[in-house]
Structure 1
Amino acid sequence: MTSADFAAAQKRVLERRQRLELEAQTRLVEQQRASHINSARLPDPLNRLTQSGFLIWDKVKGRDGTKPIFRVGQVDAELLDEELLGLLKCQVGEALKYFGSHAREEWSSEIQLALRAILFKLSIWDHNASYGASLQGLQYVDSRSTSAVPKPPTTWQKLLHGLFTVGGRYAWEKWESWLIEHENGYDEV
């Protein structure tokens, strides 16, 4: 394929995407116009409440509004990610056994934090998909986008996702271990 043919093919693809996005937006506006009743006669607070209620209803009822997601694929991707994390943790544990058997036990949470952070950087931050998701052809997208073509998540979305998934799990594990250490059980004081 020559470069002129390739450029022409790219142009056709972009034009088709723009046409599909314009058709989707037009269809959405027509559906909203057809489904709404004339609420202009209602008092002002009820008018706004009715309009926002219809907008929410339009998002929920239609297939385009909720964007069906395959939950089984997401669960499988999460299981694959946890399996990879377990394998890496075993490898690091084997390497740390030469520093003493206590190192692996004492630093388990920190080891998992470092491994999760590395995996997050190399997979989600760089390629918009975790290891398990990329094996299944799934990717993270910005679901707030109304375009027909899915857009990748923004930097802030990736940052917050990493903060909650990597840092949140670490904080949860540390909190659980603190609770177990300070538990008195059923001992009477």
Structure 2
Amino acid sequence: MGCVQVGECLTAPSWYFPRKAMDLESEDKQTKADGGSGSDLGVDPQMPVLRINQLDAFELDSTLEQLVWTQFSQCFQHCRPGLLTPVEPELRALLQLLLWRFTLYSNSATVGQSLLGLRYHSMLSSSPHHYRPLSRRQKLALALLSVGPRWLRERSHSLLLCLGLGSSAGVPPATGSAGTLQQGLRRSLAFISGVAQLAGLINFLVFLRKGSHPMLAERIVGTRAVFSQPNTGRDVTYQYMNRELLWHGFAEFLIFLLPLINTSKVKAAVYSFMFSREGRDEEGAREGPGLWKECGLCGEWPTMPHTVGCQHVFCYYCIKSHAIADAYLTCPKCGAPAGQPVPVKLEVEMSAS
């Protein structure tokens, strides 16, 4: 009997526990309505996310916004210059809202977070060990706190001018009560901006200490980044780190070394090693100055031919530009030290046709 009773309890339908079944059903409906799925139940919101992952997600989002704006502005490159300048803040805000609609509003994650396997988790959930997507109010608040302050900062001067509380170029500042109101409003805006920047700085320092809420808007809304899939911690092995450090060190060494290498001297040294200097001099003496038909640098017919003390001839502009770039220039053909360019005369052979 005891075994039968235990089996009955284990296989009892949901109407045996009406209150618990209703709670689970309502929670599942709310999760689906907010954009969640059944697989989200396996995500542990308590698993900490690396700070670098959260910062990289914001960098990816900023890069995407800039890329979208660049592509959008290129559509008007053949129009009148400055066409988008009067409404640029509004257009940027509109593009950000479009990105928000198809990313954060749809699946509680931005593009950068999706690429790094992250998404937002609502901290207003009653069960801290179960994932809960953002509600619509949280998504709207996050969009307003992300887009609104930036738009107000770019449009503050224009708004003051529209309200008659600002001063433009060529217009003397107002006096009396109007001037006092303008100064008071400007000081208030400057104070609010300073307080917001200070709050953002304090929030970032707290983020570096605790590892959550890199942006002040996330802390205000009550959300933080968690992994979108269970047990997806970022594992960086020492072998990978050593390889990256070695490669970066080698790249920095090459960046420092390459500008110090004189490619002309290296080329001349290799050429003189492969072809002996005596053989090249004998060949030049055998041909004679009347048969010089090729510049030693560009390989074309020498224009304003000059020589630098050896048996080879060069265009004036070729040898002069190389001499200016390298004070210790050598002949690229034979490796002899190059002196001052001296003009030579070439005898052109005319063959009867």
Same fold (TM over 0.5): yes
What is aligned with 1:158? 139
Shift of 1:71: 2.6
Partner Cα separation in structure 1 for residue 115 and residue 49 of structure 2? 17
Partner of 1:94: 74
Which one-letter code corresponds to 2:131 in the other structure?
P
Matched, 1:77 2:57: yes
Larger radius of gyration: 2
Residue of structure 1 in register with 2:275 after alignment: none
- Which residue type is aligned with residue 86 of structure 1? Q
The number of residues matched between the two structures is 124
The whole-number CA distance in structure 1 between the counterparts of 2:158 and 2:55 is 26
1:173 equivalent in structure 2 = 154
Which residue in the other structure is 2:106 paired with? 126
Partner Cα distance (1:182, 1:135) in 2: 46
Q: In structure 1, what is the Cα distance between the partners aligned to 2:81 and 2:68?
A: 17
2:236 aligned partner: none
Q: 1:134 to 1:182 in 2, by over 3 A?
A: farther
d(CA) in 1 for partners of 2:81, 2:53: 38
Q: In the alignment, what sits opposite 2:119?
A: 139
2:153 is matched by which residue type in structure 1? W
- For residues 80 and 119 of structure 1, the distance between their equivalents in structure 2, rounded to whole angstroms, comes to 13
Which residue type is aligned with residue 144 of structure 2? L
Partners of 1:178 and 1:108 in 2: how far apart?
15
Query: 2: distance between equivalents of 1:79 and 1:182?
Result: 36
State the identity %.
Answer: 27
CA separation of 1:170 and 1:138: change in aligned 2, threshold 3 A: same
Answer 1 or 2: which has greater strand percent. Answer: 2
SS of structure 2 residue aligned to 1:140: strand
SS at match of 1:169: helix
Which amino acid letter does the alignment assign opposite residue 112 of structure 1? R
Q: Secondary structure at the match of 1:98?
A: coil
| Higher RCO structure (Cα 8 Å, ≥6 apart) | 1
Residue 135 of structure 1 deviates from its aligned partner by: 0.3
**Alpha-carbon contact 1:97-1:103 (below 8 Å) kept:** no
Please, which runs of 5 or more residues in structure 2 have no aligned partner?
1-43, 161-165, 175-353
What displacement does 1:148 show? 1.1
Asked if structure 2 preserves the Cα contact closer than 8 Å seen for 1:128 and 1:153, the reply is yes
In structure 1, runs of 5+ residues without a counterpart are 1-63
Displacement after TM superposition at 1:137 (Å):
0.6
Deviations 1:134-184 (A, max 9, x none): 1001101102323312100111111111111122321222126668x8488
